[in-house]
Amino acid sequence: MAIALFDLDHTLLQGDSDPLWGDLLFARHKVTQQDYQKPKDRFYQDYLTGSLDINAFLQFCAQTLSRLSTTELTQLGEEFRDTMIRPRLSTAAIKQVYWHKDQGHLLAIVTTTNEFLANWSLQCLPIDHLIASPLQPTAAFPAAFRDGKRVRFLSFCREQQRLPSERTWFYSDSHNDLPLLNFVSDPVAVNPDQRLNSIANQCGWPVLDWS
């Protein structure tokens, strides 16, 4: 059985879940411009330039979530899923997910987004497995960022009793995902950033527009 891996933000999703979550929190008066929006924007710019300190970012996410009650997290999570995620899922992406599902492939989302947020997106998709960043990464369980995605994929293969050498597609938009894109048999650039688009063209990888 082959494997199909999908990045979440700007690949399956027409947008980025972390900023969208922040927009919802701000709209519901759970955070302020000063204590959340400005730091969030700095982290996002660092991600785009490839200079993100992933551990600092996840600590920031964890601190924000810790200020909300269990009831608030559930209510906001459901609203996030239904109003911010579901309407932004790419029709072309969903079609490709179902193609792989019809082939009997093993499907997983592989995303740098933290597990709490990514799980709400998973609920909208016909995908069974999620590889996301823990809010408190460890050496054994690192963030799914850069080479951490490749490391976590290898762990996933062991858990599923699969060989990482099996045919595997990975769909992604970001140059930050090059370690895993270079590792799998079938890398696919989707809505790629400038650097990934250049590398994909040099390597002869498929380049898709799911916007």
Active site residues: 7, 9
Round to whole Å and give the CA distance between 202 and 210.
Answer: 21
**CB 35 within 8 Å of CB 156:** no
d(CA 141, CA 73): 24
Closest C-alpha among 176, 178, 196 to residue 52 = 176
**Please, is 1 exposed, middle or buried when counting C-beta atoms within 10 Å of its C-beta (0-12, 13-18, 19+)?**
exposed
Is-contact 176 146, C-beta < 8 A? Answer: yes
Continuous H helices in 28-108: 38-49, 54-66, 70-79, 91-102
Give the DSSP H/E element, type plus range, for residue 190. Answer: strand 186-190
- Give me the residues paired with residue 173 across strands: none
CB of 8 closer than 8 Å to CB of 111: yes
At 161, the amino acid letter reads Q
Q: Are 55 and 137 in contact (CB under 8 A)?
A: yes
